[in-house]
Structure 1
């Protein structure tokens, strides 16, 4: 089949595009990825969305409590009142899948596999999956995301073996004591000592922002790298009492709170013996990877301002439509950067907005083509 639209990506951007396409009754194939792509996605690591109106545990809690009136539901009310009803990105994507299957059955074809190659044959996009399936579409939307650089911690196991790996941070990243987004999660640090992982100007500016905005103690951990920042930035750090520690991190000091490992944090021990107290850590080490392989295969223009490594370059798109330099190829979400100098926020609400812009653009073009067939031009 030749689909009007193919969407590649199983995260927020892909889910938002597919839901809009389904609501437009546009026959769509959704290539969601496999287990490996899911593990490499940000969608797996944001378990609590806390910076968007309309998405908050108390909304769900309040509605459930309304249904549990009367003494016979007293025990259930107590459970609901004390439950953690966090809404994460995976919850949102799972809900899109349920809605598409339930409300728009037959409109969306799902493929749970990785798209490994893409090419154009005339005006048709041809996508190959890891299992050997071939998909063809008139329009293609990519939302394949990015992955942040993670700090490798040189920790010792209970058996005495030293393992230098990023695995040590997973319990903390999954429980929101290690943070990744200033806009999404920065406000959580407002009453707590915080460290910023990073060795450059970005990490320094985030540390300054936290101190200015929240008045909290801040330190910078370069984790073995040399700290580099502008002279004015260094002077401001000194004025605010923000210190950069260049020694490697050799131990994450778990907190004293109740709950499993990672739910609380009290600091870090460095290789030189220094202990740096912290209740939160913000990761500001840049991007490890922009998943732009398919965009590159199709010849889409990348942002050269990101440096010489093409694997870390964002895909450039038009602000009004989310279309790349390749006609009919659209990209949304964290993998993109809009042309011009305005900042591109990597947020759920911006991913959804630009996914809707893209799908509605595709819808309009396809409806215009049908109009021309319905009313042929004279002569």
Structure 2
């Protein structure tokens, strides 16, 4: 692979990266996908709201997507890109294993990292009984005793959404001011507010114990609001600047995933912190289409210049 060249390097083999790679390969572009093998949703047992594949295991879905991409000639490199720079042809990527790959265009589909609140025990249950998305996991905990760890303003919105799924919702209000209007909403819905500091979470899946200042409170699921941090080191190396919102940082994009860095597109959670599997997949296809169109224009321009 050392010194390999291609039309497009796709960084990341999640839903966005695989969909973008497949769209590009179907347009007869040479595509290399570089992936370190740590998808964000690997800890989840199922992927939901996936049309035609509802409830499929996330790793099963990615394995099928990889086989489909390979069927169109996409090459995969099990490695991690650590350095990116421009050259006269496009981009040069140096991989952790020592190889280099050159490409005319880049598609960033590297996803994000979920930084959980600093509470002992949360990571142990992450993706199973410690949840963050009602639309990803809500049906599975319907009717259960649900706790919400209130560490960010978005936690209050989560409480309202999860109340649609269960009549037993408790918000552990920790370092968070609850506006009067929200408190009134909670009151009419029967959502309990418990102030204090959550010292830890223990127990077993489906039967958690929340330590609220020494008092053990049982819940079956605990909702948290992570801070979402885009995996965007290479974007920064190429001169790009990240944007932020109250729940995370991301690569800002324009139409169809174009970034401020010429020749670089982004799709999936690296640019849309709330994108689910289907949304990431669609964004990958759109980015792939735009990249191909950009290459078509460049190819035509070269032919005209050489005429």
Q: TM-score, normalised by structure 1?
A: 0.72
Gaps of 5+ in 2: none
Instruction: Name the structure 2 match of 1:76.
Output: none
Contact 1:149/1:286 (8 A) holds in 2: yes
1:272/1:373 CA distance change after superposition, 3 Å:
closer
1:360/1:250 CA distance change after superposition, 3 Å:
closer
Q: Distance in 2 between matches of 1:234 and 1:13?
A: 38
Contact 2:46/2:58 (8 A) holds in 1: yes
1:274/1:301 CA distance change after superposition, 3 Å:
same
Offset, 1:109: 2.3
1:131/1:267 CA distance change after superposition, 3 Å:
closer
Check if 1:217 corresponds to 2:183: no
Check if 1:292 corresponds to 2:228: no
Instruction: Name the structure 2 match of 1:303.
Output: 243
Check if 1:93 corresponds to 2:91: no
Q: Distance in 2 between matches of 1:232 and 1:313?
A: 28
Q: C-alpha deviations, 1:74-112, integer Å up to 9, x for none? A: xxxxxxxxxxxx5122111111222333x23xx322211
Instruction: Name the structure 2 match of 1:24.
Output: 27
Task: Kindly report which structure 2 residues correspond to 1:1-379, keeping only aligned pairs within 5 A, or say none.
Answer: 1-34=4-37, 38=38, 41-56=39-54, 86-101=55-70, 103-104=71-72, 107-122=73-88, 124-154=90-120, 166-170=122-126, 173=127, 176-211=128-163, 213-221=164-172, 225-239=174-188, 240-254=190-204, 262=205, 265-287=206-228, 289-305=229-245, 312-318=248-254, 320-337=255-272, 345-372=274-301, 376=304
Equivalenced residues, count: 303
1:182/1:251 CA distance change after superposition, 3 Å:
closer
Contact 1:303/1:313 (8 A) holds in 2: yes
Contact 1:205/1:233 (8 A) holds in 2: no
Ranked by relative contact order (alpha carbons within 8 Å, sequence separation 6 or more), the top structure is: 2
1:245/1:48 CA distance change after superposition, 3 Å:
farther
Contact 2:169/2:192 (8 A) holds in 1: yes
Q: TM-score, normalised by structure 2?
A: 0.87
Q: Distance in 1 between matches of 2:157 and 2:74?
A: 44
Q: Distance in 1 between matches of 2:88 and 2:198?
A: 53
Offset, 1:346: 1.2
Q: C-alpha deviations, 1:331-361, integer Å up to 9, x for none? A: 1111104xxxxxx741111111111111111
Q: C-alpha deviations, 1:148-175, integer Å up to 9, x for none? A: 2224554xxxxxxxxxx554325xx2xx
Q: Distance in 1 between matches of 2:295 and 2:224?
A: 43
Contact 1:197/1:285 (8 A) holds in 2: no
Structure in which a larger fraction of residues adopt strand: 2
